[in-house]
Amino acid sequence: MRSVVTGGAGFLGSHLCDRLLSEKHEVVCIDNLITGDTANIAHLIGNPKFSFIQHDVTNYIYIDGSVDFIFHFASPASPIDYLKLPIQTLKVGSLGTHKALGLAKAKKARFFIASTSEVYGDPLVHPQEESYWGNVNPVGPRGVYDEAKRFSEAMTMAYHRYHGIDTRIVRIFNTYGERMRLNDGRAIPAFMSQAIRNEDLTVFGDGSQTRSVCYVSDLIDGIYKLMISAYDMPMNIGNPEEVTILELAKEILRLTGSRSKIIFQDLPEDDPKVRQPDITKAREILGWMPIITREEGLARTYKYFLKKMQNQQPG
Ligand code: UDP
């Protein structure tokens, strides 16, 4: 089996490369490194089954030889990244998806798109099941990501229906774990790095908004199971255990034993008030559900961030 992973040097993409290699795939990783980092794949360099191409997939993608699976994971994915890179975010979700689908058609490969819970926007249905069409503000600051991903789902279904391409769509809910960037602005890396530095934890709004966070190994397992299943409609993968952001900040304070305080800052525009996946489909069709508790996952992630920060500040 030979797989192509776009965004393969990113947080999720690099964990996916690891999993595919462990399943005996040959892996071609493509990344333009605007938010990805070669440090995430450094341990794979020299593996004869792994290769890396630095390339922007909004341009034509050339791959020699046969390909069985294409995973399109390239995209800025944290709110501060896509606010900083709005055009690139729209381009990789639209033009990048088109190029990756073109490659799938040429190679007769199965195509797998990394979509997102953001297609549900600030949801009016809770928890979110796949049949919900969402509540997205197309012209708000988050619209660049949400609409790019909604377009990528539509394009995937068009190639599926019109060209008969074998496709899979995963809607990924908030995920955390090793290889997240300390400064990617998301709640868990932000709170952990603040706690380690004994700085105040910045909770946005009153912290009553909820998220449901999934540890990365669980998420990748769901993705792998979806890829080998026969199911070709969108599927939620995430951990349904819901928590308020204020509670999450308190959990991180307890875990780290930090002296930091919690301070409240303005809630960003269009910040979703709730988010929780309905994973009935994943349970019934894939036999998948998350197994790592938040306590365990946060402890592992903390260990990673602590080491990373110590390496950044020698002595
Ligand atoms: N958040 C926060 N403080 C931070 C970073 C994020 O309170 O330093 C909040 C953010 O407003 C949102 C939630 O935590 O309500 C999750 O944010 P994140 O960026 O992790 O992901 P999102 O689910 O919003 O894409």
Alpha helices (runs of H) in 64-215, residue ranges in sequence order: 79-84, 86-91, 97-107, 143-163, 187-196
Question: Residue 202 CB: number of other CB atoms within 10 A?
Answer: 14
- Provide mean pLDDT across the span 170-183: 97
Q: How far apart are CA 208 and CA 247, in angstroms?
A: 9
Q: Is 105 exposed, middle or buried (0-12, 13-18, 19+ CB in 10 A)?
A: middle
- Provide mean pLDDT across the span 84-89: 98
Say which of 82, 120, 145, 215 is annotated catalytic: 145
State the pLDDT confidence band at 315, using cuts at 50, 70 and 90. very low
- Provide mean pLDDT across the span 54-59: 98
pLDDT in tens, 97-131: 999 999 999 999 999 999 999 999 999 999 999 99
pLDDT in tens, 279-308: 999 999 999 999 999 999 999 999 999 999
pLDDT at 239 over 70: yes
The average confidence (pLDDT) of the chain is: 97
Query: Given the CA of residue 185, which atom of ligand 1 is nearest to it?
Result: 5
Q: How far apart are CA 105 and CA 107, in angstroms?
A: 6
Query: Given the CA of residue 80, which atom of ligand 1 is nearest to it?
Result: 19
State the pLDDT confidence band at 314, using cuts at 50, 70 and 90. low
Of 122, 245, 260, 261, the residue with max ligand 1 atoms within 8 A of its CB, to mutate for a pocket test, comes to 245
- Provide mean pLDDT across the span 186-195: 97
Token couple for 13: 């993409």
pLDDT at 70 over 60: yes
**Measured in angstroms, how far is the CA atom of residue 46 from the centroid of ligand 1?**
37
* Annotation says 145 is catalytic: yes
Q: Which residues line ligand 1 (CB under 6 A)?
A: 78-79, 174, 185-187, 190, 202-204, 209, 211, 245, 267-268, 271
Q: How far apart are CA 220 and CA 177, in angstroms?
A: 11
Q: How far apart are CA 74 and CA 80, in angstroms?
A: 16
Q: Looking at ligand 1, which residue's alpha carbon is closest to its atom 16?
A: 187
pLDDT at 312 over 90: no
Task: Give the pLDDT score at 274.
Answer: 96
Q: Looking at ligand 1, which residue's alpha carbon is closest to its atom 3?
A: 203
Query: Given the CA of residue 188, which atom of ligand 1 is nearest to it?
Result: 20
Complete domains list, the chain, with CATH: 2-175+214-237 (3.40.50.720), 178-211+241-275+291-312 (3.90.25.10)
- Provide mean pLDDT across the span 9-30: 98
- Give Cα 195 to chain centroid, integer Å: 24
Task: Give the pLDDT score at 313.
Answer: 62
- Provide mean pLDDT across the span 204-218: 98
pLDDT at 24 over 60: yes
Task: Give the pLDDT score at 54.
Answer: 98
Query: Given the CA of residue 209, which atom of ligand 1 is nearest to it?
Result: 15
Q: Looking at ligand 1, which residue's alpha carbon is closest to its atom 13?
A: 187
**Measured in angstroms, how far is the CA atom of residue 268 from the centroid of ligand 1?**
9
**Measured in angstroms, how far is the CA atom of residue 257 from the centroid of ligand 1?**
22
Alpha helices (runs of H) in 164-244, residue ranges in sequence order: 187-196, 216-228
State the pLDDT confidence band at 311, using cuts at 50, 70 and 90. confident
Of 128, 211, 270, 273, the residue with max ligand 1 atoms within 8 A of its CB, to mutate for a pocket test, comes to 211
